[in-house]
Amino acid sequence: MPELPEVEIYARYFERHALRQTVARVRVLDERICGSRNLGRLVGRSFERVRRHGKHFFADAGDVWLHIHFGMSGDLAYFSDAPPRYARLIFDFDNGASLAYEDMRLFGIVDLTSSPVDYILEHELGPDPLELNLRSFRELLANRRGRIKALLLSQNIIAGIGNLYADEALFRSGIHPRRQVDRLSDGEVRSLFRSIRGVLQEAIAFKSRGGDYPGRWLVQHREEGDRCPRCGGTIRRTVVAGRTTYYCARHQK
Ligand SMILES: [Zn+2]
């Protein structure tokens, strides 16, 4: 499932391949991925810059922006011969190349919006975790109640931390996913902030090199009873905020 690091990589891919080429044609191959607005408006325009906010991707096409949410299996492919198998929408550029939005499972959405800011406000999305500083992170947590993992997953508090990355950041900072937000110490909040940034930035770096995550990451040990790569404790599985959650029973307090 495309999470924030994958969407960042798609944004870089789009930026590298699909900017400053005039859209000659928009081919909708499956209307189920289209939002309500008319994508034909993009004909004759070109994309000038990209932006990512959480798991949302935007490309500036003048007075309108393309918006993509990649759902469960969305991806991009720039090509000049045969379109990829699960292409659902294709932008043909006037230079003969094309960009496909592919999506095997059809949970993604491609549509238009007036601007990323409007989209973020309309959908009440919180700030992107990589745009936060420690002070703004503290302010987000202030006066909140509930379990820390549930808060990390709330898109209207912080946009874009998915289930795996929430577990990974809590694992790295030694915080139990069921901890109450208002009981975290200043040091724990600082550690969690650094862990979120570290996990996401390292994930982007690993993914952009096409590599897998290292064995010291929790994601490589998501199995009940597995051994913690940090302290040798036991990995436990539970449910927090309705999501399957893994944590180390020894070093996450
Ligand atoms: Zn451990």
Residue 234 Cα to chain centre, angstroms: 29
Give me ligand 1 centre to Cα 178, in Å. Answer: 16
| Ligand 1 mean position, distance from CA 131 (Å) | 29
Pairing of strands 23-28, 87-93: antiparallel
Q: How far is the CA of 168 from the centre of ligand 1 (A)?
A: 12
pLDDT above 90 (res 16)? yes
DSSP 252: -
Which residue in 91, 102, 106 sits closest to 59, CA to CA? 91
DSSP, residue by residue, 50-107: EEEETTEEEEE-SSSEEEEE-TTTEEEEEESSSPPTTEEEEEEETTS-EEEEEESS--
Distance 172 CA to ligand 1 centre (A): 9
Q: Report the pLDDT averaged over residues 204-214.
A: 91
pLDDT of 162 reads: 94
Coil vs helix vs strand at 193 = helix
pLDDT tens figures, 27-43:
999 999 998 778 999 99
pLDDT category at 137 given cuts 50, 70, 90 is very high
Q: According to the model, what pLDDT value does residue 202 have? A: 96
Instruction: Tally the residues of the chain.
Output: 253
Instruction: Spell out the long-range contacts of 119-124 with Cβ–Cβ below 8 A and sequence spacing 24 or more.
Output: 119/53, 119/56, 119/58, 119/65, 119/67, 120/53, 120/159, 124/156
Distance of CA 126 to CAs 34, 43, 63, 237, Å? 24, 32, 24, 28
- Averaged pLDDT for residues 208-228: 94
Contact 99, 77 (CB under 8 A): yes
Q: Is the pLDDT of residue 108 over 90?
A: yes
Entry pTM: 0.94
How far is the centre of ligand 1, averaged over its atoms, from the C-alpha of 33 (Å)? 42
Mean pLDDT of the chain: 96
Phi, psi of 207 (to 5 degrees): -65, -40
Residue 210 scores a pLDDT above 90: no
Angle made by CA atoms 127, 131, 109, in degrees to the nearest 5: 55
Compute the average pLDDT of residues 76-91.
Answer: 96
- Report, as residue numbers or ranges, the catalytic residues: 2-3, 55, 243
